[in-house]
Amino acid sequence: MEKDIKKSVSMFEGKEVRKIWIKEKEEWWFSVIDVCDVLTGSLNPRDYWFKMKKRVKSDDGIELSTICRQFKLRAEDNKIRVTDCANIEGLFRLIQSIPSPKAEPFKLWLAKVGYERMRETIDPELAVTRARKNWQKRGLDEKWISQRMLNIQTRNKLTDYWSGHGIERPDEYARLTNIIHEEWSGLSVKKHKAVKGIEVENLRDYMSEAELIFTSLAELSTKQIAEGDKAEGYGENKVAAKKGGKISGDARKNLEKQTGKSVIGGVKLSL
């Protein structure tokens, strides 16, 4: 499935704790350095964590560094840097190794974060409501929000097909997604983000209504072609992705020819 990554910041007692949502695992991962800062008040939490993960093993004998994964998060200087992160289970292990009076309040805070996500898993409408409120706060109108919701549904149906027909690794989801995107837009996902002036954010949350429509058309076409061809594995789904993306790409080019305007915001046409 698509490695759809959402980043945000939560506050614990006035201090920022960066976190990142990993769709493939359906869970939040938190910056370990931020957690060390919260619990220890160290002047150099990065150095504290570096020394700690070299000397400490958790109660079950597992080295702390092995419970972490590295993700790119925005640092204080506004640059994107690779950062050690841990999920809630990993943080509970970590907290056991940090003597701090804030350990118990922080555990309760983590439990609340996990509980909120559990509620959304049981009742997906809560997640939909939260997403809608976030989009509204950004000033996006109901027409755009409805199109974004439809785009999510179309995307999920495609990734559901992939997951049941031989696509397992996150990098395969990402490559197939990029193929579809390049075929319909003429740009890779990375280059399209550059046009939008974003780096780590979800590209679709910054698309215009037209861009969302053409993305949905490309993914809907891909799914229907894959189903018709009974595509299995990466190779066959790659063929379907190219065909599906091209259908939307041809439609985009026809529209641009008629209007003289680029569907992709910020890109000038050379007609």
Residue 270 pLDDT level (bands cut at 50, 70, 90): very low
- 197-214 residue pLDDT tens: 887 678 898 999 999 999
- Give 23-41 as a 3 state SS string: CCCCEEEEEHHHHHHHHHC
The token pair at 26 is 């359906």
Q: Is residue 22 part of a domain?
A: yes
What's the pLDDT score for residue 108? 82
What's the pLDDT score for residue 237? 97
Residue 124 pLDDT level (bands cut at 50, 70, 90): low
Q: Is residue 127 part of a domain?
A: no
Residue 127 pLDDT level (bands cut at 50, 70, 90): low
What's the pLDDT score for residue 255? 96
pTM of the model: 0.58
Check pLDDT > 90 for residue 257: yes
What CA–CA distance (Å, rounded) separates 207 from 196?
8
pLDDT > 70 fraction of the chain, expressed in percent and rounded: 86
Closest CA to 48 of 63, 65, 32, 36: 36
Kindly state the average pLDDT of the residues 166-190: 92
What CA–CA distance (Å, rounded) separates 252 from 263?
7
N- to C-terminal Cα separation, the chain: 37
Q: Are residues 114 and 157 in the same domain?
A: no
Check pLDDT > 70 for residue 262: yes
What's the pLDDT score for residue 61? 56
Q: Are 165 and 233 in contact (CB under 8 A)?
A: yes
Q: Are residues 74 and 156 in the same domain?
A: no
Contacts of residue 85, Cβ cutoff 8 Å, sequence gap at least 6: 19, 20, 29, 30, 31, 32, 68, 69, 70, 71, 73
What's the pLDDT score for residue 183? 97
CA distances from 144 to 7, 45, 207, 213 (A): 21, 42, 9, 10
Which residue among 57, 88, 122 closes a domain? 122
What CA–CA distance (Å, rounded) separates 15 from 12?
5
- 62-86 residue pLDDT tens: 677 788 889 888 887 778 889 999 8
CA neighbours closer than 13 Å in the CB half-sphere of residue 58: 16
Q: Are residues 153 and 117 in the same domain?
A: no
What CA–CA distance (Å, rounded) separates 243 from 218?
9
What CA–CA distance (Å, rounded) separates 83 from 144?
34
What's the pLDDT score for residue 80? 85
The token pair at 51 is 């020394």
Q: Are residues 183 and 146 in the same domain?
A: yes
Would you mind telling me the total number of residues written for the chain in this entry? 271
- Domain residues for the domain of 60 are 5-122
Q: Is residue 129 part of a domain?
A: no
Q: Is residue 267 part of a domain?
A: no
Which residue among 122, 152, 170 closes a domain? 122
Indicate the number of domains in the chain: 2
Q: Are residues 173 and 98 in the same domain?
A: no
Q: Are residues 115 and 151 in the same domain?
A: no
What CA–CA distance (Å, rounded) separates 213 from 76?
36
Which residue among 122, 156, 181 closes a domain? 122
Name the average pLDDT for the chain: 84
Q: Are residues 193 and 99 in the same domain?
A: no
